[in-house]
Structure 1
């Protein structure tokens, strides 16, 4: 495929692997010569359908949400809502909120697509039934996700179990911002939606009020329902939950930031206690001592990913004195290739203590832990990346 390109008055033709770049003084437009493989339909509704696509070029799956209302009379009227959803999702970047990668809009036809992260996992209801031991982690993650939404002044406005998914690694993902709204001033907090709510409505609905305090209520009711339905007796935050579902707004927790602080306990300074420092040092000494080399292309996961991955790995070792395969721990930190000492076990109590440290850290403290971890891991001996074959084998196993 060829296109003529005008650049500073000079006509050019560009052809690069079927990727055509069209440029003028105002726009740069990429015309894509390849497509995606349609894997399956995930769902459909009055405003269009959602499908799973595969990109063979990078071997990744994406969820594609197509805007195409069945009733053509509504296409123009609701198109602005679809654009609003894209704007909201582009403002969000958090491990517990679904990511949006790209979008395509056709304003002249009132049509469009959103390309989003594919979450291979059930909703929070089904996940809680199969993994009741994770209820405390799920609660903390949901609060973290909605705290991020509130920090961006975004109201989700459709809080229900089907809109909170959980990955196979136990990571919460808040999805579906079709009813979302960014609240800029007081007029934006009116109850301008009508949904089939699944629980008792808060009293402020009678006054047409829907704000972040209202969202606190619905998240609380959602977990109240999960705990009752699945008979979860080991939930640790009963007092916090009771304040979230208070009918009276004066008695209810006013924000997700407030709820988060209650989960963490008394707000801590950015300083670490001597016990925290020793816990960190003992764990990281053992971690780095188990790693022989890391490949030059390898990187370190972010602290939230590390926290989730380590919690999941801990389940497979928590009844043991030591994890016989240190890769159970190492793989939670290094994203890429590494070599490690396969005959050296990893003390489980150090993993448990480090998880306890992460659980009680504030966001600021977690950032400090992440910076120190990255510095330690980046200081490990590097090995050039090889595409095939194995290197010398002593006690190390390439991973």
Structure 2
């Protein structure tokens, strides 16, 4: 019996939504009340608003691992986001959850990322240390609740409670029962919004949000290898030290002994995604069968994540991540570009903070008289929204010498 037939009982095709899934007909609503659409569920409407936003388009020119002009075929935040959404929908479908909500959370999860990926985030967090720091997840919430200005009646996208909850908590609860942050102080933007619209930060998010979170891991665990191979920083032979990849490579080479390296790499990618996805589905399905949740409240109150890897796959994935950090993310060529990109972000922050008039109209008004805390957050909002290309352009405008990131 094939693996696909074995997984048939879990279900890759359409089946009715499970009782533990998020039900759009029972959505907790939006911060600002709106008349519901006659043709779309609240979650479908959220997804559409996300796709049509300015922040979504900006992901096209934001770094994943390699800055955009290093090659046209490397992944950007946008292509990564689309890949995450595809995997999240597949997981939600198999687990009989709401695919539209899983997709919406996946599509919005990287809205708060700065130019140049985590390098920009680290630099901005350091610059903002005196004013609560900078966190890309908290910034995503600011984007969709405040910074997007498209609608006549409200700032932000006015997304449903379920999508906002999934955005903020897709990696798990943020606070304990007393409101204390589980990983240090709770980012102020999240704390401020939660006082107005309680997202139940001490509870686990929906299964749909959990699908989006683990889809993110599966996507970058796999596709960063692909980009590393394309860049020449990784080789197939190097992957022999990673048990999961080595096992897959052995199967590919046994079946296609004359296959060229490029196609061998692609076979590795697609098989690795399949293995990881099937592992998550089987593991989550077993947990669901054991706990027999009768509603989404049981998911929120479970006390643990449900959409996870098996223990064996989690260990294999941890080894893979360690390999990628050692051989790709910390590669000297990548670190050199990161150092130059960090300088660009730091220089821009200092320039805008010293003279907000250097920022364009719509961002600088009133900042010359504002408190430093307000000015700093406004500068961070402006900088975080930049694409890689715009950040380089702005640096060239303001400074005599701009690092060459090629």
Q: Which has the higher helix share?
A: 2
Q: Which has the higher strand share?
A: 1
Larger Rg: 1
TM-score after normalising by structure 1: 0.25
TM-score after normalising by structure 2: 0.25
